[in-house]
Amino acid sequence: MRWTTDVCDVELLSEPTYSFGSADNVRSYEREYLLSGEYRPLVMYGVRTFQGGKVTSTAVLGAAGGGTGLHEHSAVGLVDRCVVAVGDQLVCLRLPDLVLLWAVPGDEATCFGVYASPLGDGLVVHGELAISKFTLAGESLWQFSGRDIFTGGIRLTERAIVAIDFDGMEYNISPEDGRCL
């Protein structure tokens, strides 16, 4: 996954075999952010920034929680930051140097994806157990839980966050306050 921001190009890579602190990895990273505490990280992503076609900084993120594959909603690029959903964590890195600005639990189980809020005022996390909204500073604004886990799709409109649970039930959630519409 690769995108362009105002300050650099950013690439996100899946690193399923990465071993923190080892010199025997396929790729090496300048910064290692192990976010899983006492648990072995189950999801690991590499992040690289480019300016003028040259790599300027690298970092690897590892988190616990359920495993998800890398896809177009694994990260959101902002002007001078990128926010990555990795395992159960929501991680914000400064661009282009990839300094960790903050990391917060995005869901109790796993984060399937992160989206810019349709209101332009924060981030929406598609979690397994909840749909949540965070500020751009990583503060939780609200959480919405359904009758079952949110393994169905999610789409954002100007008026609602539409999420589908495991049983196929559709929820229309207010992006403003997280209530069911």
Domain positions in the chain are 2-173
Give tens-digit pLDDT for 85-118.
Answer: 999 999 999 999 999 999 999 999 999 999 999 8
Top-level CATH class of 2-173? mainly beta
Judge whether 57 and 96 are in contact, CB under 8 Å.
yes
Per-residue pLDDT, 40 = 79
Residues of the chain with pLDDT under 50: none
